[in-house]
C-alpha cells in the first residue's frame, strides 16, 4: 500500500527509531543496560521502557478523537504537519536536549526493567504507533485535536501528536546511547594501580 509523502516520512522516522534501538542494544549486556551514571539518571532499559509507556499513553488519548473524526467524515485535505506553535514544542524535544524536562509520574519507567522486556515493549509500542498511522492516514490529522495527556487544558492535533512521538523517541534513544557510552567507558576504565 502506498502512502502520501508526509505519512511515509513519519513511517521512515519510526523505522529509523527501530534501527537506532537495534544498534543501541546490539551486544549490550544486562548489567550495562541497567547501569546509571547517577542515581536519578536513566539507564538504557529505562529509556526504552519510558518510550513504550509514553507512546501507549499518547495513542490512548488519540484514539477516540480519530474515531469521532472518521464518524464525522473528516478526511484528509492537507499534509500531516504540526502547527507553528506546536512545531516549536516538537523541536524542543529533538536531541541533543536543549532543556531538561521531568517526565510526569504516569510515564516514569520501571526501575531497571529487564532489557529484553523493555525492548519487546518498545517494539510493541512502535507497532501500535505504526498501526494507528496507517489506519488513520486518510483523516484530517492536522485539524483533529486530542487532549494532551500530560498538559491539562492543552489540545494537540493528531499530526502534532505523531510528530511529538517521533521526536520524543529520538530524544530518549539519544539519551540511552549516552548512557550506554558512559557505562562502557566506566567498564573499560583501567583499575587504579595498587599502592
What is the per-residue pLDDT for 99? 78
Between the alpha carbon of residue 182 and those of residues 22, 60, 114, 127, the distances in Å are: 18, 34, 19, 30
What is the per-residue pLDDT for 70? 98
What is the per-residue pLDDT for 191? 47
- pTM strictly above 0.85: yes
Q: Name the strand (E) or helix (H) holding 155.
A: strand 155-157
Whether the CB-CB separation of 157 and 84 falls below 8 Å is answered with: no
Euclidean distance between CA atoms 82 and 90, whole angstroms: 8
Q: Would you mind telling me the total number of residues written for the chain in this entry?
A: 195
For residue 103, give every residue at least 6 positions away whose Cβ sits within 8 Å of its Cβ, in sequence order, or none: 50, 54
Q: What 3-state DSSP class applies to 19?
A: helix
Euclidean distance between CA atoms 48 and 172, whole angstroms: 8
Whether the CB-CB separation of 84 and 21 falls below 8 Å is answered with: no
How does pLDDT run along the chain (195 residues), one tens digit per residue? 688 999 999 999 999 999 999 999 999 999 999 999 999 999 999 999 999 999 999 999 999 999 999 999 999 999 999 989 899 989 999 999 887 888 999 999 999 999 999 999 999 999 999 999 999 999 999 999 999 998 889 999 999 999 999 999 999 999 999 999 999 998 776 545 565
What sign has the CA pseudo-torsion 11, 121, 161, 93?
Answer: negative
Amino acid at each position: 500500500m502506498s502512502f502520501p509523502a508526509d505519512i511515509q516520512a513519519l513511517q521512515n522516522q519510526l523505522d529509523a527509531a527501530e534501527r537506532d534501538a537495534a544498534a543501541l542494544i546490539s551486544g549490550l549486556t544486562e548489567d550495562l543496560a541497567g547501569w546509571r551514571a547517577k542515581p536519578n539518571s536513566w539507564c538504557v532499559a529505562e529509556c526504552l521502557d519510558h518510550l513504550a509507556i509514553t507512546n501507549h499513553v499518547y495513542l490512548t488519548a488519540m484514539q477516540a478523537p480519530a474515531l469521532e473524526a472518521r464518524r464525522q467524515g473528516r478526511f484528509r485535505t492537507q499534509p500531516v504537519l504540526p502547527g507553528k506553535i506546536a512545531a516549536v514544542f516538537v523541536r524542543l524535544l529533538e536531541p541533543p536536549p536543549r532543556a531538561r524536562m521531568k517526565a510526569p509520574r504516569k510515564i516514569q519507567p520501571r526501575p531497571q526493567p529487564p532489557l529484553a522486556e523493555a525492548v519487546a515493549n518498545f517494539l510493541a509500542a512502535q507497532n501500535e504507533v505504526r498501526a494507528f498511522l496507517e489506519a488513520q492516514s486518510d483523516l484530517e490529522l492536522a485539524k483533529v485535536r486530542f487532549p494532551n495527556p500530560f498538559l491539562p487544558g492543552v489540545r494537540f492535533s493528531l499530526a502534532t501528536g505523531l510528530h511529538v512521538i517521533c521526536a520524543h523517541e529520538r530524544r530518549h534513544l539519544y539519551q540511552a546511547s549516552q548512557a550506554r557510552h558512559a557505562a562502557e567507558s566506566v567498564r573499560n576504565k583501567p583499575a587504579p594501580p595498587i599502592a
